């Protein structure tokens, strides 16, 4: 499968079940991403899950996903893999490394179920401690994806713990050391070990790119946002949550915006 229209993008932004926000302001993220595509006059189709990718991928060069819950099933993974191998490019953001979660006896938390979409994406979400400010270290200085970022930038966001699925075939772009305060009760209970830690025992990968056939995948953990209604629901579930009613910090950070602009150029082959 190859992209027959090299000038189009397909954007998936949504939660699960259909219509749910799932803790994220998908409307805000969707508008921001469409605005960045419009800067380059890139037309885009929009969906809230992966249900119709067999219709849109053949006429798209770039797939962008900002999701909290939706993930491609086995048939959709085959469609996506064929498209990537034919030259398509996938920019995956934030909750894309999650997916289906299962209940764990004795805890209110849920554990991410590893499926074949994690193998295709190249990472698997474990958990994240509360939102905090941290410094993003930029690697791969010669990559077009990191152009203009400098050596590091500071962002306030959810500090994701992700497990790389094929480190040998992955080019690491961004890392972070969240510091000793970034701990999660999920490690040691839901997950037996913190498989997001790198060899130094401190840093974690939060951005990478990998080739898939003639195409490729780029993933960044950054990008949390919520509105007052979502914040109220989060507070009801976790009274210790102290985040502000409206949170858009990474989207208002120059470093993240530069990353997104670079990734769109990468995805469109510009």
Q: What is the pLDDT of residues 101-151, one digit of tens each?
A: 888 887 878 899 999 999 999 999 999 999 999 999 999 989 999 999 999
In a domain, 139, yes or no: yes
* Per-residue model confidence as pLDDT tens digits over 223-241: 999 999 888 876 555 666 6
| Span 244-255, average pLDDT | 95
User: Is residue 100 within 8 Å of 113, Cβ to Cβ?
Assistant: yes
Report how far residue 100's alpha carbon sits from residue 110's, in angstroms, rounded to the nearest whole number: 9
Q: Is 70 exceeded by the pLDDT of residue 254? A: yes
Domain count within the chain = 1
* 84: nearest Cα among 59, 61, 66: 61
| Span 247-262, average pLDDT | 97
| Span 54-59, average pLDDT | 97
Average pLDDT, the chain: 93
Q: What is the pLDDT of residue 3?
A: 43
Pairing of strands 62-68, 9-15: parallel
Report how far residue 167's alpha carbon sits from residue 175's, in angstroms, rounded to the nearest whole number: 14
168 lies in which domain range? 9-268
In a domain, 209, yes or no: yes
In a domain, 248, yes or no: yes
Q: Where residue 196 sits, what CATH number does that domain have?
A: 3.40.50.880
Give the number of other Cβ atoms within 10 Å of residue 3's Cβ: 21
In a domain, 3, yes or no: no
In a domain, 2, yes or no: no
69: left (phi over 0), alpha (psi -120 to 50) or beta: left
Q: What is the pTM of this model?
A: 0.95
In a domain, 134, yes or no: yes
In a domain, 4, yes or no: no
Q: Which residues pair with 169 in a beta bridge?
A: none
Higher pLDDT, 220 or 140: 220
């Amino acid at each position: 499968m190859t992209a027959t229209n090299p000038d189009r993008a397909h954007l998936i932004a949504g939660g699960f079940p259909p219509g749910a926000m799932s803790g994220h302001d998908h409307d805000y993220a969707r508008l921001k991403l469409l605005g960045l595509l419009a800067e380059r006059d890139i037309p885009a189709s929009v969906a809230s899950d992966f249900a119709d990718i067999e219709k849109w991928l053949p006429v798209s060069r770039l797939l962008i996903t900002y999701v909290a819950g939706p993930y491609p099933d086995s048939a959709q993974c085959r469609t996506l893999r064929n498209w990537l191998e034919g030259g398509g490019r996938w920019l995956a953001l934030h909750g894309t490394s999650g997916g289906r979660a299962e209940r764990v006896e004795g805890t209110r938390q849920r554990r991410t179920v590893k499926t074949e979409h994690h193998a295709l994406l190249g990472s698997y979400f474990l958990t994240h401690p509360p939102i905090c400010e941290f410094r993003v270290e930029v690697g791969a200085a010669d990559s077009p994806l990191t152009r203009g970022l400098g050596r590091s930038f500071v962002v306030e966001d959810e500090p994701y713990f992700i497990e790389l699925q094929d480190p040998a075939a992955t080019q690491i772009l961004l890392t972070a050391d969240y510091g000793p305060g970034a701990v999660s009760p999920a490690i040691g209970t839901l997950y037996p070990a913190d498989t997001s830690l790198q060899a130094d025992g401190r840093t974690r990968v939060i951005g990478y790119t990998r080739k898939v056939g003639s195409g490729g995948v780029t993933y960044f953990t950054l990008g949390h946002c919520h509105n007052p209604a979502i914040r109220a629901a989060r507070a009801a579930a976790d009274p210790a949550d102290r985040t502000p009613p409206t949170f858009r910090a990474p989207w208002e950070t120059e470093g993240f915006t530069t990353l997104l602009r670079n990734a769109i150029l990468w995805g469109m082959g510009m």
